[in-house]
Amino acid sequence: MKAYRVGEKLRRFYHYYPGTVAVIGVRDPRHGANFMPAVWNAGLSFEPPLFGVAVSPKRHTYAALEAGEPFSVSFFPYRQAELVARLGSVSGREVNKVEAFGLKVHWGEALRVPLLEGAFAAYELEPYDRFPTGDHTLFVGRVRAVWEDEAAFDPDGVPTPDRADALLYYGRFLYGRPAPETRRLKFR
Ligand SMILES: Cc1cc2nc3c(=O)[nH]c(=O)nc-3n(C[C@H](O)[C@H](O)[C@H](O)COP(=O)(O)O)c2cc1C
């Protein structure tokens, strides 16, 4: 192990990866819908159910979130890595991703949010709060509807590797999948 001190910027910031990717979906006035992957995502509260994504103002998606639009987040299996990588390689500012990638979009049950086919789960999120944090803003949404492919979850609702095969992102364009081994460790 070596240690180094850090100033303004960290050149490599992947020590806590891999992470699952949440693909954010928002309505788009020009293209109907726009989607971007966000590895900086987290569950934040059970009651009410809150989920957050950290989005840079550089992203086209940011404008919709900043305007207080509802949004979706979808979780994809490993076999959809290419789609996710493509969604993160161009901006809705220049490209109509729905058209360019032949995306199949469907619309929310509770909110007017676009969702993408091919995910094993998705949330429809109502804007709840936002926190500017450094060069990103944490947008927190309240879960108003859940979509899930039942085959991707075990009886406890856990997306096990054999069922969900959740896409993992390691940083620097590197994608992976969970190892098949799992252990249930419960001490009390
Ligand atoms: C796997 C992956 C994860 C990403 N995670 C984030 C993230 O958490 N926050 C963010 O602002 N950008 C993230 N990005 C970058 C945006 O997804 C990317 O710039 C995208 O093209 C923005 O699309 P938009 O301009 O249409 O919104 C990620 C990209 C990839 C490929």
Domain range summary for the chain, segments of one domain joined by +: 19-176
- In 3D, which of 20, 130, 98, 33 has the Cα closest to residue 72? 33
Assign 3-class secondary structure to 109-123.
Answer: CCCCCEEECCCCEEE
Look at the pTM and tell me if it is higher than 0.95.
yes
Query: Measured in Å, how far apart are the chain's first and last C-alpha atoms?
Result: 35
Q: Residue 90 — φ and ψ, nearest 5°?
A: -135, 165
Name which residue sits closest to atom 5 of ligand 1, judged by CA.
38
Distant-in-sequence, close-in-space partners of 106: CB < 8 Å, separation ≥ 6: 114, 115, 117
* Ligand 1 atom at minimum distance from 62 CA: 27
pLDDT of residue 19: 98
How far, in Å, is the centroid of ligand 1 from the Cα of 185?
34
pLDDT of residue 176: 98
pLDDT of residue 42: 98
pLDDT of residue 183: 95
Q: Which residues are near ligand 1 (CB < 6 Å)?
A: 21, 34, 36-40, 54-56, 59-61, 85, 88, 90-93, 136, 169
Name which residue sits closest to atom 18 of ligand 1, judged by CA.
88
Q: Which of 17, 30, 36 to mutate to test the pocket of ligand 1 (most atoms within 8 A of CB)?
A: 36
Q: Which of 30, 59, 75, 177 to mutate to test the pocket of ligand 1 (most atoms within 8 A of CB)?
A: 59
Q: Which residues pair with 77 in a beta bridge?
A: 166
Looking at residue 85, the DSSP 8-state letter turns out to be: H
Identify the CATH class of 19-176: mainly beta
Name which residue sits closest to atom 21 of ligand 1, judged by CA.
88
Per-residue pLDDT of the chain (188 residues; tens, 9 = 90+): 999 999 988 989 999 999 999 999 999 999 999 999 999 999 999 999 999 999 999 999 999 999 999 999 999 999 999 999 999 999 999 999 999 999 999 999 999 999 999 999 999 999 999 999 999 999 999 999 999 999 999 999 999 999 999 999 999 999 999 999 999 999 98
* Ligand 1 atom at minimum distance from 34 CA: 26
Name which residue sits closest to atom 11 of ligand 1, judged by CA.
55
Name which residue sits closest to atom 2 of ligand 1, judged by CA.
37
